Amino acid sequence: MKPFVPENLPIQNLDWKRLTQLADDAATAVYHYSGLLENMISPEILLAPLVRKEAELSSRIEGTQSTMSDVLEFESGKRFSGSQEKEIRGLQNYREALKIAEAYLRDGRPFSLTLIKELHAILMTDAIWDAPHSQPGEFRTGAVFIGPKGCGIENATYVPPEHFLIQGCLDNWEHYAQQSSDGKLITTGILHAQFEIIHPFMDGNGRIGRMLIPLYLYLNHALNRPMFYISEYFEQNRKEYYSSLNNITQQGNWQGWVEFFLTALQSQAKTNTIKVHQIISLYDEMKKKFRAAINSRYYIDALDCLFKRPIISSNLFIEKTAPGHGNTARNILKKLEQSNLIIKTEQGTGRAPSRYAFPSLLNIANGKTTTP
């Protein structure tokens, strides 16, 4: 199979009448969700489980098996095998890169190739895919291909453009990102697909490409925070996701991809809205229950701690909730467990701490909601 040569952006010959209607429908759902973010108190606390879940699902699309719960258990001190620990660090890196990117854009940095290379370097650090050939933070200098495990290039399903064409393709991509008049949602979809087609890095292209979706929407004021969790829809519709991308390079069918992407935005915005409402309702409900169960001035600290880390060790809970007051924090955990608000998942022995889970929040993060 010969390497693919992408066409320059903007894309010609799209059915703009149909896409405009789909974009309007998607925008309504996205802006409704964004308004919910704008009015949310402490989204960094309330949405922490969904940020973790996005990192899990975006990585799962690429074959990673570790989960949000694994990350939480690792952060609470549980040990994993060397390979799984690297997978977990990759999920942590995804969250860290997204956090840094938001700060960069908020401070006025442009949506640029330089930014993308910095995010890639963060993503790849000490992760399982951080092999010597992966060139963290640098565009590839060699050939790659995509296909079944163990296949050769002759049996590849896709061969990206040769490395000496990458810079020209990316310069066009960057110019389009900064100057497009195609509408912010349609532009976002085209940018994501073109990035995957160019495949500029040796590894990590899918994760970076999906990370760019909420970042571009945030930069262009379609979102108040770059928290969108699009990977849930892509994971649930993985076959169509990949076939829509493949149809661009095999048939030149950009129309089908953009329609799929706008449908994904609309559907996921509705799902996100449902989950955020559920999380807000849970927080309000638990605020009353924690206060009644604990009867301590630390009840909000305990609640916020468990929303950020719905799986946690007793030691970490003490550190984050009532540092210097270990007995008080342990008593809080005991009362929450007795009230069935948390469950003990692992009994501490010797110097090893006990671990606890906050199942009502984990259920929302892990559950599948039905959009109206």
Kindly state the tokens that stand for 148.
Answer: 């079944």
Question: How far apart (Å, rounded) are the C-alpha atoms in residues 35 and 58?
Answer: 24
Whether 140 has a pLDDT exceeding 60, the answer reads yes
Kindly state the tokens that stand for 306.
Answer: 């468990």
Look at domain 275-366 and name its CATH class: mainly alpha
Q: pLDDT (tens digit, 9 = 90+) per residue, 323-332?
A: 888 899 999 9
- Output the pLDDT for position 366: 86
- Output the pLDDT for position 370: 41
Kindly state the tokens that stand for 76.
Answer: 């609470």
Q: Which amino acid is at 306?
A: L
Band of pLDDT at residue 368, cut at 50, 70 and 90: very low
Question: How far apart (Å, rounded) are the C-alpha atoms in residues 347 and 345?
Answer: 7
Query: Does residue 152 or residue 198 have the better pLDDT?
Result: 198
* CA distances in angstroms from 330 to 141, 327, 334, 354, listed in the order given: 54, 5, 6, 10
Helix pair 82-106, 113-124: axis angle to 10 deg: 150
Band of pLDDT at residue 372, cut at 50, 70 and 90: very low
Query: Does residue 312 or residue 131 have the better pLDDT?
Result: 312
The partner residues of 313 in beta bridges, in order of sequence, read 355
Worst-scoring range by mean pLDDT, 1-5, 225-229, 255-259, 366-370?
366-370
Stretch 125-147: mean pLDDT, rounded?
79
Is 44:227 a contact under the CB 8 Å cutoff? no
Strand order in the sheet with 311-313: 311-313, 355-357, 343-346
Share of the chain above pLDDT 90, in %: 72
Give the residue range(s) of CATH 1.10.3290.10 domains in the chain: 16-269
- Nearest one of 278, 231, 234 to 257, comparing CA atoms: 234
Q: Which long-range contacts (CB under 8 A, 24 or more apart) does 106-110 make?
A: 110/178
- Output the pLDDT for position 129: 54
Give the residue range(s) of CATH 1.10.10.10 domains in the chain: 275-366
Whether 260 has a pLDDT exceeding 50, the answer reads yes
| Averaged pLDDT of the chain | 92
Alpha-helical (H) ranges within the chain are 16-38, 43-46, 48-61, 68-75, 82-106, 113-124, 163-179, 184-198, 205-219, 231-236, 238-251, 254-294, 299-308, 314-321, 326-338, 359-366
The CATH code for residues 16-269 is 1.10.3290.10
Is 343:356 a contact under the CB 8 Å cutoff? yes
Q: pLDDT (tens digit, 9 = 90+) per residue, 294-312?
A: 999 999 999 999 999 999 9
Convert 2-37 to b/e letters by CB count within 10 Å (16 or more is b): ebbebeebbbeebeeeebeebbeebbebbeebbebb
* Total-model pTM: 0.92
